[in-house]
Amino acid sequence: MKYTKFLLLLILTASCASQRTVRHQYHQADMRPAEPVEVQQPVVVVEEEEVLEPEVVASARPLVSQVNRFPEGTWQYDKQQALDLLCQSPIFETTQLGLYVYDLTDGQPLYAINAAQRMRPASCQKVVTAVTALNYLKGDFQLRTEFRISGKVRAGVLEGDLIVVGGMDPLVTTDELVEAATTIKQKQGFSSIKGNLVFDLSMREDKELGWGWCWDDDYGPLSALFVDGKDYFEQKWFLALDAAGISLSSSTQGLKGQADRQSKTVYSIRHNLDYLLEPMMKNSDNIYAECLFYQTAATTGKKWAGRKEVAQRTEELLKKIGLDTNQYKVADGSGLSLYNYASAEMLVALLGYAWRTQDIKEHLLPSLPIAGFDGTLKNRMVGTEADGNVRAKTGTVTGVSSLAGYLTAANGHTLAFAIINQGVSSASTGRAFQDKVCIELCR
């Protein structure tokens, strides 16, 4: 009788092992096979029946490039193989990757993983802002803060208003305001103002923060009038007038409103676009990016223009280069917003358009940080083949790290690339992967 029971236990054990083998054949190849079970006592068999193997997470599957393979023996084939290896990193079991590399010299994609997936671009949104602005404003555009007067000047008194029309220029300095007040006094012949000081803020929408900014973002408020990069133009202008020797009557007030159509421009402060573009891109200055964003909005000719007008301009450009505008969302100019959605494909398409458009390229390219040399790439890829070669915009917000720009490959070809690491617990994780990709492409 005991012998019969033992035979039944052996048959039951073999059946359970067979079922485990069937379950395991659907798991990935790198999973461990079922351990052999030693059957000595019935209790061992019961324990094996109650222990279940964990399921394999689908996101842990190896990432594979979604572009055609080049023939073996070519430089392109070798790079595809090398990038395949990099993309098997364990970080992609818990994070998302959007990667696209395009050969501008050959005019064809080299490598792509999830290139069309919508992700948060972080400060690589500044690439979208810069290319869109340069497309509509052109490189010779100047940011302008205008000073106007209404009424007449009699016996050294302005019997009217002194108006400042904001152009959202963060480059205006305190010294430039004093110079403006001094020059206006000398050329217009008044040292006293009987009317009001008017601040025309109609260049942009009346919102202090960007759409989708977090409550704890330490940026803003945004304004059509900046001085020294800050929103205290009104106070600084009063001080500048006093320093220039222009007195105000007891009834003079500081008012916000649009300039009188009958007023005339008597002075202006201007700055070339490149002076804004360089710190915006190299240092990833968010306020500068928002200022350029609203310059694009103003090109529609609408007063109090804002995000919707820039989104309209961006969509026009994306359609022009052949992208589906329904796949993306433009929320702000800096990339701080939670509502921006781009893709690696979109960023590379804009970079490619910029490369082919000389008037954009000659202003965009010098503004990008250079690996191992300056800006936000100064301390990255130092001493590698990418040092001094990669020119790209960085991006970092909580959970997202990105990089998009250009490099010259070892075969002399110019490549445009975009890498978005989303869901990373530390930005350094994304940066390390991005550096490896760039170094491999330059090698």
Task: Please give the full DSSP string across 130-142, using - where no structure is assigned.
Answer: HHHHHHHH-TT-E
The closest alpha carbon to 103, from 76, 130, 131, 66, belongs to: 76
The one-character DSSP state at 53 is P
In CATH, the number for domain 142-276 is 3.50.80.20
Q: Please state whether the predicted TM-score (pTM) of the whole model is above 0.75.
A: yes
Euclidean distance between CA atoms 151 and 195, whole angstroms: 9
What are the residue ranges spanned by the domains of the chain? 2-56, 60-121+342-442, 142-276
Please give the single-letter amino acid code of residue 191. S
Q: What share of the chain is helix, strand, coil (3-state, %, to 5)?
A: 40, 20, 40
Tell me the one-letter amino acid at 326. N
Full pLDDT tens readout for the chain, 443 residues: 444 444 444 444 444 444 433 333 323 333 333 344 343 444 433 333 343 343 433 334 457 678 889 999 999 999 999 999 999 999 999 999 999 999 999 999 999 999 999 999 999 999 999 999 999 998 899 999 999 999 999 999 999 999 999 999 999 999 999 999 999 999 999 999 999 999 999 999 999 999 989 877 778 799 999 999 999 999 999 999 999 999 999 889 999 988 888 899 999 999 999 999 999 999 999 999 999 999 999 999 999 999 999 999 999 999 999 999 999 999 999 999 999 999 999 999 999 999 999 999 999 999 999 999 999 999 999 999 999 999 999 999 999 999 999 999 999 999 999 999 999 999 999 999 999 999 999 99
Give me the architecture of the 60-121+342-442 domain, per CATH. 3-Layer(aba) Sandwich (3.40)
| Helix, strand or coil, per DSSP, at residue 128 | helix
How far, in Å, CA of 270 to CA of 276, rounded? Answer: 11
Q: Taking every pair of C-alpha atoms in the chain, what is the biggest distance, in angstroms?
A: 128
